């Protein structure tokens, strides 16, 4: 599905459009939307002026030029016969919503900002769907939202443009859950329109045991054989079977699995780690977590004859890379 595009417009500058958009973005993100915010209808941007590196790259024939830092990126590009807004819309295929600040002449739906000190009557350009204002006496046939009620503005956008997806999403702590259809029944999420990208996940868990059991495991003296070698194979097998074990998980073509075991003698436990990689349309968090779980269960099975007090615990996602939601690291959250 192409992204929804809305223009945030006003009669002139200095109406606070940027501040409104700045406050609106986190509200939309809390509702589970991925959002791009753009300045629209510019004749040029300073970073692409003649003589600048990005300008030189573009003139040399690069389809996309830009700059990156360890934390972010900035890209420049064009498509023959298309405006900048049209080209960037094609580029941002994994985004739910694009909000463009400015351009009253666009053919997109528009939300107009009306400030009492600038214009007491809205312009209402073509396809205006709502007005944001600090005036309380506007009598219009479209919704008028208080300029201070950013939550109401976010609700309006979600109700107007994402009813099929968002009205039946079950939420907990403002986090959206998408494994439900419009009837509220479970479903496997359709990822066919998502781009194939490199994805990776690393999960960990631990199994505590008696010091004697830990000693035997590490020395390879268990009656059933080399516990950690068997657990490693079990983890790999579990990763590959996740789509069959977890009802709404997708069957995936896994490209790599790494399993590590770290004995921690002072706490009499083994920490299990599983890293999974692929290039695909959905992430591998469930595969990594399943691998950890089955590896720990295998250790339990191999050792239960001498130690039934073992405890499997603290199974968690440690890191995730790639996909729409970007980079997650437990140490950073």
Considering only residues 92 and 185, tell me which one the structure prediction assigns the higher pLDDT. 92
159 is catalytic: no
**Residue 180 DSSP label:** B
What pLDDT does residue 174 have? 45
In a domain, 29, yes or no: yes
What pLDDT does residue 167 have? 40
3 state DSSP class of 173: coil
Considering only residues 7 and 69, tell me which one the structure prediction assigns the higher pLDDT. 7
My answer on whether 171 and 34 are in the same domain is yes
In a domain, 191, yes or no: no
Domain boundary among 143, 177, 211: 177
Q: What would the pLDDT profile of 317-328 be if each residue is shown by its tens digit? A: 999 988 766 788
Give dist(CA 135, CA 68) in Å, integer.
Answer: 43
What pLDDT does residue 94 have? 72
Q: What would the pLDDT profile of 80-132 be if each residue is shown by its tens digit? A: 777 666 676 666 777 888 888 888 888 899 999 999 988 888 999 999 999 99
Residue 131's CB: how many other CB atoms inside 10 A? 21
In a domain, 189, yes or no: no
My answer on whether 156 and 243 are in the same domain is no
My answer on whether 127 and 245 are in the same domain is no
My answer on whether 17 and 153 are in the same domain is yes
Question: Where residue 281 sits, what CATH number does that domain have?
Answer: 3.30.70.640
What pLDDT does residue 70 have? 73
**Quick check: 173 pLDDT over 50?**
no
My answer on whether 203 and 272 are in the same domain is yes
3 state DSSP class of 163: helix
Considering only residues 322 and 193, tell me which one the structure prediction assigns the higher pLDDT. 322
Tokens encoding 303: 């050792």
Per-residue confidence band for 7, with pLDDT thresholds at 50, 70 and 90 = very high
Average pLDDT, the chain: 84
What pLDDT does residue 168 have? 40
My answer on whether 161 and 243 are in the same domain is no
Catalytic-role residue among 134, 260, 301, 307: 301
My answer on whether 39 and 68 are in the same domain is yes
Number of domains into which the chain is organized: 2
What pLDDT does residue 67 have? 67
My answer on whether 170 and 229 are in the same domain is no
Lowest mean pLDDT among 44-48, 127-131, 222-226, 320-324: 44-48
Residue 251's CB: how many other CB atoms inside 10 A? 10
In a domain, 221, yes or no: yes
My answer on whether 80 and 14 are in the same domain is yes
Lowest mean pLDDT among 45-49, 56-60, 140-144, 218-222: 45-49
Considering only residues 13 and 1, tell me which one the structure prediction assigns the higher pLDDT. 13
**Quick check: 179 pLDDT over 70?**
no
Q: What would the pLDDT profile of 270-301 be if each residue is shown by its tens digit? A: 999 999 999 988 889 999 999 999 999 999 99
Please state the separation of Cα 159 from the chain's center in Å: 21
What pLDDT does residue 136 have? 86
In a domain, 119, yes or no: yes
Q: What would the pLDDT profile of 136-159 be if each residue is shown by its tens digit? A: 888 899 999 999 999 999 999 999
159: closest CA among 181, 187, 188, 130? Answer: 130
In a domain, 110, yes or no: yes
What pLDDT does residue 333 have? 46
What pLDDT does residue 281 have? 84
Give dist(CA 96, CA 105) in Å, integer.
Answer: 23
**Quick check: 207 pLDDT over 60?**
yes
Q: What is the pTM of this model?
A: 0.49
In a domain, 190, yes or no: no
My answer on whether 11 and 83 are in the same domain is yes
My answer on whether 244 and 295 are in the same domain is yes
My answer on whether 152 and 205 are in the same domain is no
Domain boundary among 144, 177, 210: 177
Domain boundary among 177, 212, 246: 177
**Quick check: 182 pLDDT over 70?**
no
Give dist(CA 261, CA 307) in Å, integer.
Answer: 19
Q: What would the pLDDT profile of 16-36 be if each residue is shown by its tens digit? A: 898 999 999 999 888 888 888
Question: Where residue 66 sits, what CATH number does that domain have?
Answer: 3.40.50.300
Q: Give me the domain span that covers residue 327.
A: 197-332
In a domain, 182, yes or no: no
């Amino acid at each position: 599905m192409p992204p929804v595009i809305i223009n945030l417009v006003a009669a002139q500058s200095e109406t606070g459009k940027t501040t409104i958009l700045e406050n609106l973005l986190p509200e939309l993100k809390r509702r589970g939307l991925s959002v791009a915010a753009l300045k629209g209808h510019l004749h040029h941007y300073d970073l692409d002026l003649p003589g600048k590196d990005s300008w030189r790259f573009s003139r040399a024939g690069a389809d996309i030029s830009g700059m990156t830092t360890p934390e972010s990126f900035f890209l420049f590009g064009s498509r023959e016969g298309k405006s900048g807004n049209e080209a960037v819309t094609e580029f941002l295929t994994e985004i739910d919503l694009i909000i463009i600040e400015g351009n009253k002449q666009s053919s997109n739906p528009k939300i107009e900002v009306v400030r009492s000190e600038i214009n007491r009557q809205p312009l209402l350009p073509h396809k205006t769907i709502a007005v944001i204002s600090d005036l309380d006496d506007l009598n219009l046939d479209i919704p008028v939202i208080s300029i201070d009620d950013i939550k109401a503005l976010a609700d309006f956008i979600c109700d107007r443009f994402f009813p099929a997806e968002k009205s039946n999403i079950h939420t907990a702590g403002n986090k959206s859950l998408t494994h439900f259809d419009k009837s509220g029944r479970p479903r496997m999420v359709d990822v066919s329109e998502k781009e194939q990208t490199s994805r990776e996940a690393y999960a960990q868990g631990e199994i505590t045991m008696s010091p004697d059991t830990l000693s035997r495991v590490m020395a390879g003296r268990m009656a059933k054989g080399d516990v950690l070698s068997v657990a490693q194979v079990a983890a790999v097998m579990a990763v590959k079977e996740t789509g069959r074990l977890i009802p709404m998980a997708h069957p995936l073509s896994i490209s790599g699995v790494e399993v590590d075991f770290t004995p921690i003698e002072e706490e009499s436990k083994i920490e299990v780690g599983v890293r999974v990689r692929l290039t695909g349309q959905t992430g591998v968090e469930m595969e990594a977590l399943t691998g950890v779980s089955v590896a720990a269960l295998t250790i339990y099975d191999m050792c239960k004859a001498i130690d039934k007090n073992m405890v499997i615990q603290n199974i968690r996602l440690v890191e995730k890379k790639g996909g729409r939601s970007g980079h997650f690291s437990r140490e950073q959250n």
